[in-house]
Amino acid sequence: MDNTVIDLASVRSICQQCGINKLCMPMGLERNDLDQLDRIIKRRRPIAKGEHLYRGGEAFTAIYALRSGSVKSYLTHESGMEHVICFKLPGDLLGLSGINGSHYTNSAVALETSSVCDIPFNQLEHLCQEIPGLQHHILEMMSKEIQEEHEKIAVCSKLPAEARLASVLLTLSGRFHQRGYSATEFNLSMSRSDIANMLGLAVETISRLFTHFQDEGLIEADRKHIKLIDVARLTALVKLA
């Protein structure tokens, strides 16, 4: 497995240097495979807050791995109404739902300055033919997305407002933790209204809940900055209801 001699400034692929690679792509890939993958990936210069990565309806050409920052993906109803689907963090993949139908079915917009890797999909597919581990990884990532959506539907359609917000906070906490950041203290890059939208609630409700959580000593919230104080009680909120 570990056939690496310490060859410092060698031709290490960018993927290998990238701290998030365990999340987004490679996993147990051999060095050679990683290099191949690396070769098809295009890096972009940073994307500014508010810039779109892609929009619903555009031709599907690539999936994206978020390297830094955060991105919101959303559907646009024909009435023009937006529905926020999820918030992506570094290591997450974007655009997978575009595979079927060869057009993106949702839009992705940066919530802050972010950077992404473009992974041209047809090339990725070819590579999957040669690298079984890569194919498996893609399947796993898609499977995980399906799992997450199932979970999200359960939360949004079964739990009261309080539990939904608690769930979002805890989920974010867990995801930050996975990425090596604090699980109890973080900054929200999304607005209250994005959160409300995703949870199918009114902004006012979210705002009230934030103050309520704070009054109850569950969290400390200063604008975007959130500190989880009583994780146990937050967790209980989600379970109960």
Q: Which two tokens stand for residue 170?
A: 């805890």
Of the pair 41, 190, the CB lying nearest DNA is at: 190
The 82-88 sheet, strands edge to edge: 52-54, 107-110, 71-76, 82-88
Of the pair 198, 206, the CB lying nearest a copy of itself is at: 198
Backbone dihedral region for residue 44 (phi beyond 0: left; psi -120 to 50: alpha; all else: beta): beta
Of the pair 121, 176, the CB lying nearest a copy of itself is at: 121
Q: Which of 39, 83, 177, 225 binds a copy of itself (CB under 8 A)?
A: 83
Q: What is the dihedral of CA 129, 133, 135, 137, to 10 degrees?
A: -160
Q: Which of 61, 200, 216, 231 binds DNA (CB under 7 A)?
A: 200
> Which residues between 133 and 172 bind DNA (CB under 7 A)?
160-162
Q: Which of 109, 203, 229, 231 binds DNA (CB under 7 A)?
A: 203
Least distance between a copy of itself and beta carbon 73 (Å):
9
Q: Which long-range contacts (CB under 8 A, 24 or more apart) does 88-92 make?
A: 89/175, 89/176, 89/179, 90/20, 90/23, 90/66, 90/179, 91/20, 91/22, 91/23, 91/24, 91/65, 91/66, 91/179, 92/23, 92/24, 92/65, 92/66
Q: Which of 96, 170, 203, 231 binds a copy of itself (CB under 8 A)?
A: 96
Binding site for DNA (CB under 7 A): 160-162, 191-193, 200-208, 210-211, 221, 223-224
Note the residues at the interface with a copy of itself (CB under 8 A). Answer: 75, 77-79, 81, 83, 85, 96-101, 105-106, 125, 128-129, 132, 135-136, 138-147, 149-154, 156-158, 198-200, 239-240
